[in-house]
Structure 1
Amino acid sequence: MIEFPKLEWRKSSRCANESCVEVAESEGQYFVRDSKVPDLPSLRFTAAEWAAFIDGVKRGEFG
């Protein structure tokens, strides 16, 4: 198992209740988790994968 320093989680600015997506960054890797179950493993993305995701969000690919 890869160990990472303690992550600083941020909630989505669109979070309207306690069911939110949280994101953390460490050493060029991005982590995503569900705030309802923070003890479950998070998803991990490279900087390139995260940039592609953000670009897709901005272009409306997921809506």
Structure 2
Amino acid sequence: MSTKRNDLPANLEWFKATASSGSGGCLEVAFLEDGSVALRDNEDLSNPPFVMTRHVWACFIDGARKGEFDIPG
């Protein structure tokens, strides 16, 4: 399950992939105290982050590692 949330703590530590190397257009991830994961677009911080359960995040990461979300072509 994932939802958009505006009520996240202001002091979250956000991470982005090293592959972004400051080029912009990056997704950022923050790990919440309750075990859920927040995901946001660093180019539009006015848009609320998606927050998902640890299980949903783990399934996404597993699929990404296996290439299930690779762009066709």
Alignment TM-score, normalising by the size of structure 2: 0.75
Q: Which amino acid in 2 is paired with 1:60?
A: G
> Residue 54 of structure 2 aligns with which residue?
47
Identical amino acids, percent of aligned pairs? 37
Flag structure 1 segments of 5+ consecutive residues without an equivalent. Answer: none
Alignment map for 1:1-63 (pairs within 5 Å): 3-5=7-9, 6-16=11-21, 17-26=23-32, 27-63=34-70
Question: Structure 2: where are the runs of 5+ without partners?
Answer: none
Q: Distance between the aligned counterparts of 1:40 and 1:22, measured in 2? A: 13
1:4-54 CA distances to partner (integer Å, 9 max, x unpaired)?
A: 432110112221411111000012010000010123200111000000000
Distance 1:4 1:35, change over 3 A: closer
Q: SS at 1:14's partner residue? A: helix
Q: Which has the higher Rg, Structure 1 or Structure 2? A: 2
The DSSP-based 3-state class of the residue aligned with 1:22 is strand
Q: Which amino acid letter does the alignment assign opposite residue 53 of structure 1? A: F
Q: TM-score, normalised by structure 1?
A: 0.85
Deviates further, 48-57 or 7-16: 7-16
